[in-house]
Homo-oligomer: A and B are copies of this chain.
Amino acid sequence: MDERIRKHAQIIADWSTEIKEGDHVIIRAHPSAYELVLALYKEIGARKAKPLTLMSSNEANRAYMLEHGDGFQTPDHLIKLVEASDVFISIRGDDNMASMAEVPGSLVSSYARANKPLMELLTDMRVSLTQFPTPSQAQFAGMSLEEYQNFVWDSIIRDWQEVHDMQELLREKLADADEVCVQGPDTELYLSVKGMKPINSDGKHNLPSGEVYVAPSPEKTEGKIYFDLPVVRSGREIHGVRLEFEGGEVVDHSSDTHQDLLTSILDTDDGARRLGELGIGTNRNIDRFTRNMLFDEKMGDTVHLALGYAVPKSVGDGLKGNKSAIHVDIIKDMKKGKLTFDGETIMENGSYFWE
């Protein structure tokens, strides 16, 4: 077994989920991620906790959903299992990223609604969402397996305490700031984060991580922004997204490709035209776009904005966070841009200034 799989498992067990004696642990993994499951059983055994593994498979879900049709019910046995557990480790890594291509979106939504009680339970648990490098995911990222393995493990196997400490300085600055400004080509955007609660995302929930994020005021974003990196939705890439805001709302938009898809995202509901998140990526081992948001939004020298839903814990006490059924992250490369908090330069042309 690649020694990096052992290290990956140790980081999950020690840092991300802090597994201790007697913990009831659930792992969820596709068979393609089997080696990481094996490594986790060793770590869980060493900590005298109790593991079980749910096999996840989009190919199985596809077969199930298409035969079942609409009207999915909540899987109560799964709910009982999760209620009785302390730790949930979800490993991404399938053998075919297109397994769900044939399943109508309405069916996927109906299935997701039936499983919503599960998602709600997970918010109160020690959860780690991570990635195992599989050939299909490497293909999706446009890399050989070996190159992709290096990419994934370089971004995951880090000193997360050090990352935490580095990001904590950024989080404190953001917590003290009123106005955030993003500048660059075709870009001058002002967001209000006054009183909001920035979060230091340091590998405790997402692995890899490496970002500080916050809910901006949904009513105060002004100006325009050009996003260098594409939005990937349902296998399609929307390139060259441009948004213009007034009073927090997108009042104009365009893109170089798939503009109809961008429009339909913005038309989802009232909250879909307002921002739910400003994120600042700091993980410089994630040095390229791989069409995988678990990695992309943490790229060093980037910021991202999310249209839609605001994570409640990033909203300030007594303040309003944005509501929406969607949460669509769009990433901007800051190697040709400048990020300021109340006029103080934080990131500019590929340099960090808060460290």
Listed in ascending order, the chain A residues whose CB lies under 8 Å from chain B are 22, 24, 26, 29, 31, 34, 37-39, 41-46, 48, 50-55, 57, 59-61, 63-68, 71, 73, 75-81, 83-85
Q: Are A64 and B52 touching (Cβ within 8 A)?
A: no
Neighbour of A24 across the interface among B26, B50, B77, B83, CB < 8 A: B77
Q: Are A66 and B45 touching (Cβ within 8 A)?
A: yes
Residues of B within 8 A of A26 (CB): 77
Given contacts A76-B84, A80-B84, A84-B76, contact A42 B54 (CB under 8 A): no
Neighbour of A59 across the interface among B38, B65, B75, CB < 8 A: B38
Secondary structure of the A side of the interface? helix
Residues of B within 8 A of A66 (CB): 45
Taking the nearest CB of chain B, how far is it from the CB of A118, in angstroms?
11
Q: Are B53 and A41 touching (Cβ within 8 A)?
A: no
Chain B residue at minimum C-beta to C-beta distance from A37: B60
Q: Are A73 and B50 touching (Cβ within 8 A)?
A: yes
Residues of B within 8 A of A52 (CB): 54, 75, 77-78
Q: Can you pick out 25 interface pairs between chain A and chain B where the beta carbons lie within 8 Å of each other? A: A24-B77, A31-B31, A31-B34, A34-B57, A38-B60, A38-B63, A41-B57, A41-B63, A41-B67, A42-B64, A45-B63, A45-B67, A46-B67, A46-B68, A50-B73, A50-B75, A52-B77, A52-B78, A53-B57, A54-B54, A54-B55, A55-B55, A77-B81, A78-B81, A80-B83
> Which of A44, A50, A85 lies at the interface centre, i.e. has the most chain B CB atoms within 10 A of its CB?
A50
Question: How many copies of this chain?
Answer: 2
Chain B residue at minimum C-beta to C-beta distance from A68: B45
Residues of B within 8 A of A55 (CB): 29, 31, 37, 53-55
Residues of B within 8 A of A37 (CB): 55, 57, 60
In the assembled complex, the Cα of A53 lies from the Cα of B39 at a distance in Å of 20
Given contacts A77-B81, A81-B80, A85-B77, contact A53 B60 (CB under 8 A): yes
In the assembled complex, the Cα of A118 lies from the Cα of B45 at a distance in Å of 20
Chain B residue at minimum C-beta to C-beta distance from A24: B77
Residues of B within 8 A of A29 (CB): 55
Q: Are B51 and A54 touching (Cβ within 8 A)?
A: no
In the assembled complex, the Cα of A31 lies from the Cα of B77 at a distance in Å of 22
Q: Are A42 and B67 touching (Cβ within 8 A)?
A: yes
Neighbour of A45 across the interface among B46, B64, B75, CB < 8 A: B64
In the assembled complex, the Cα of A88 lies from the Cα of B65 at a distance in Å of 20
Taking the nearest CB of chain B, how far is it from the CB of A56, in angstroms?
8
Residues of B within 8 A of A31 (CB): 31, 34, 55
Q: Are B77 and A84 touching (Cβ within 8 A)?
A: yes
Taking the nearest CB of chain B, how far is it from the CB of A66, in angstroms?
7
Taking the nearest CB of chain B, how far is it from the CB of A25, in angstroms?
8
Residues of B within 8 A of A38 (CB): 57, 59-60, 63
Taking the nearest CB of chain B, how far is it from the CB of A134, in angstroms?
13
Taking the nearest CB of chain B, how far is it from the CB of A136, in angstroms?
14
Taking the nearest CB of chain B, how far is it from the CB of A236, in angstroms?
27
